[in-house]
Amino acid sequence: MVLIMPDKTIYVNEEAREKLAEFWIKAYNNNINRLIPMMAENLANDIISVTGVKTVSPNQNRRWVSLRP
């Protein structure tokens, strides 16, 4: 896993997971349990997974919108 921050700092493997855990305090386990199996399957099929993540400041007034019908 490679995590590239907006300031171009790069985290690799366990460092990337540790950094994600800081951002996804409540959702880390659920998100990783969804992402890692998909990434592993893609790698097994010679596909490199790329996933973009947008973070929201905890101080930002949020409006959640469901994309599901």
- Give tens-digit pLDDT for 12-54: 999 999 998 998 888 899 988 988 899 899 999 999 888 887 7
What pLDDT does 29 receive? Answer: 92
Confidence of residue 62 (pLDDT cuts 50, 70, 90): low
- pTM listed for this prediction: 0.64
* 3-state secondary structure labels for all residues of the chain: CEEECCCCCEEECHHHHHHHHHHCCCCHHHHHHHHHHHHHHHHHCCCCCCCCCCCCCCCCCCCCCCCCC
